[in-house]
């Protein structure tokens, strides 16, 4: 197999190649934010200088990711919340955790997990429907999930009083490290 | 009793304790245990508990008293089983989610912590007296009106106007209230500002002067 990266490394000593430059842009974009960045957004930005297709972009992101892995870097690029997110690798977790002891969000309570699970699997769903499944009042739990930004209004049910229907947010996807809402069903 | 998250949770616990298959549960035993537990609690557990207990007792009585045959799907036990099965699935899903949360806690994205979870009204540094004094001062400067006219000023367009004025900048509080504004407009502008503070879009800061600035939200 022709080793493309080696060829590029030689060229880089003078000027970075087009591919290398795009990879650097991607890296810079992901580094700059705590949120995931969608492929479309990356394309939009990169295309302002280097016209690039989605497939090629995906290939370059994969190349960057492989590079991190091959070089045993502390970061990884993961597909989370309908985009790409730069985060530290799992192995570094215990160390990074020590730095952020007071800044980590509280773990969710058992009741919150139940309500979240119901909303994640049955969305769009009203609070009354959640309560019917759990057999217990869930207003406080729903309120705290809204406050934590894990659920949001996704519509109104065509029923008396037009009750709010809830669904999970992008923040939920990030919290649980999921690529998209459809991935919920793959959690084991 | 408080350890259980509702009647279904308790029922499920009892079923698991007896290691029974929930489609073939010895309900009379279960019902007795369930009722005992509720007696022990001696607190108002809400209508859901009552409904479930009543349903279980109905099922039990149907087993004890021979009578006319009721079609299988109309038996309350079918409904209870369905609810239990559904609840069981949700409990499993919830523990899978909790598991996933544990795994994900080892990954850190940039910024370390999430955004602050509560937005403040931005009133920490400005006392209510400061605000009332400002309002009083503004009203004193406004021309007095003799006749009552149709409401001319509304809060939501004012909010839009304030947003465009502030637009990520910091402005002197007084610059938002022009002296040519009438009483009604001043009040509406003031209400619009309070609303924006409540929404967490702007905050009011007191330094040498009182400023209004965007929070960037």
Chain segment A145-157, per-residue pLDDT in tens: 999 899 999 999 9
- Contact criterion met (CB < 8 Å) for A117 and B97: yes
Taking the Cβ of residue A77 and every Cβ of chain B, the question of whether any pair is shorter than 8 Å is answered with: no
pLDDT at A188: 66
**B195 to chain A nearest CA, in Å?**
19
DSSP letter (8 states) at residue B115? P
Identify the contact set of chain B against chain A, taking CB-CB distances under 8 A: 5-9, 46, 48, 52, 83, 86-87, 90-91, 93-101, 103-115, 117-118
Give the pLDDT band (50/70/90) at residue B171: confident
What percent of chain B has pLDDT above 90? Answer: 0
**pTM for this prediction:** 0.58
| Global ipTM | 0.76
**What do you get for the CA distance between the two ends of chain B, in Å?**
43
A110-186: CATH architecture? Orthogonal Bundle (1.10)
**A4 to chain B nearest CA, in Å?**
30
User: And the tokens for A43?
Assistant: 């394309």
The pLDDT profile of chain A, 188 residues, written as one tens digit per residue, is 455 555 555 545 566 789 999 999 999 999 999 889 999 999 999 999 999 999 999 999 999 999 999 999 999 999 999 999 999 999 998 898 888 776 556 788 888 999 999 999 998 999 999 998 888 888 999 999 999 899 999 999 998 889 999 999 999 999 999 998 888 888 76
Closest listed residue to residue A135, CA positions, set B16, B11, B7: B7
Q: Model confidence over B181-194: pLDDT tens digits?
A: 888 888 888 899 88
**B133 to chain A nearest CA, in Å?**
33
pLDDT above 70: residue B38 = no
Taking the Cβ of residue A101 and every Cβ of chain B, the question of whether any pair is shorter than 8 Å is answered with: no
**CATH for A4-99 (1.10.1020.10, 3.40.190.10, 1.10.10.10, 3.40.1190.20):** 1.10.10.10
- CB-CB contact of A85 with A174 (8 Å): yes
- Residue-range domain boundaries for chain A: 4-99, 110-186
Crossing angle for the helix pair A139-147 and A127-134, to the nearest 10 degrees? 130
**Measured between beta carbons, which residues in chain A are less than 8 angstroms from residue B7?**
135-136
CA A160 to chain centre: 36
Dist CA B31 CA B59 (whole Å): 9
Taking the Cβ of residue A185 and every Cβ of chain B, the question of whether any pair is shorter than 8 Å is answered with: no
Dist CA B57 CA B63 (whole Å): 10
């Amino acid at each position: 197999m022709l080793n493309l990266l080696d060829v590029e490394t030689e060229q880089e000593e003078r000027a970075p190649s087009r591919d290398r430059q795009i990879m650097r842009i991607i890296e810079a974009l992901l580094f700059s934010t705590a949120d995931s960045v969608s492929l479309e957004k990356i394309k939009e930005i990169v295309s302002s200088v280097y016209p690039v297709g989605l497939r090629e972009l995906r290939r370059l992101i994969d190349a960057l990711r492989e590079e991190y892995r091959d070089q045993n870097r502390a970061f990884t690029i993961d597909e989370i919340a309908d985009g790409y997110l730069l985060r530290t690798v799992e192995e570094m977790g215990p160390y990074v955790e020590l730095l952020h002891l007071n800044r980590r969000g509280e773990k969710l309570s058992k009741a919150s997990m139940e309500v979240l699970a119901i909303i994640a699997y049955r969305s769009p769903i009203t609070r009354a429907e959640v309560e019917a499944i759990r057999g217990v009042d869930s207003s406080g739990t729903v309120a705290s999930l809204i406050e934590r930004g894990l659920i949001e209004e996704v519509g109104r049910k065509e029923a008396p009083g037009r009750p709010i229907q809830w669904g999970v947010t992008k923040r939920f996807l990030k919290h649980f490290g999921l690529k998209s809402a459809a991935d919920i069903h793959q959690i084991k | 009793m408080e350890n259980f998250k509702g009647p279904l949770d308790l029922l499920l616990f009892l079923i698991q304790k007896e290691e029974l298959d929930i489609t073939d549960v010895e309900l009379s035993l279960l019902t007795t245990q369930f009722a005992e537990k509720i007696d022990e609690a001696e607190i108002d557990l809400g209508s859901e508990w009552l409904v479930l207990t009543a349903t279980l007792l109905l099922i039990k009585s149907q087993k004890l008293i021979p009578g006319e045959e009721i079609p299988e799907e109309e038996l309350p036990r079918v409904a209870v089983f369905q609810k239990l099965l559904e609840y069981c699935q949700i409990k499993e899903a919830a523990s899978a989610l909790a598991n996933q949360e544990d795994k994900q806690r080892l990954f850190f994205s940039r910024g370390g912590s999430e955004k602050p979870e509560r937005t403040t009204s931005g009133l920490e540094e400005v006392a209510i007296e400061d605000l009332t004094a400002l309002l009083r001062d503004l009203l004193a400067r406004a021309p007095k009106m003799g006749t009552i006219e149709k409401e001319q000023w509304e809060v939501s367009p004012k909010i839009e106007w304030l947003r465009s004025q502030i637009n990520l900048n910091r402005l002197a509080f007084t610059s938002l209230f022009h002296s040519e504004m009438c009483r009604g407009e001043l009040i509406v502008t003031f209400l619009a500002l309070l609303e924006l503070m409540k929404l967490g879009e702007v905050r009011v800061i007191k330094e040498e002067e009182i400023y209004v600035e965007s929070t960037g939200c």
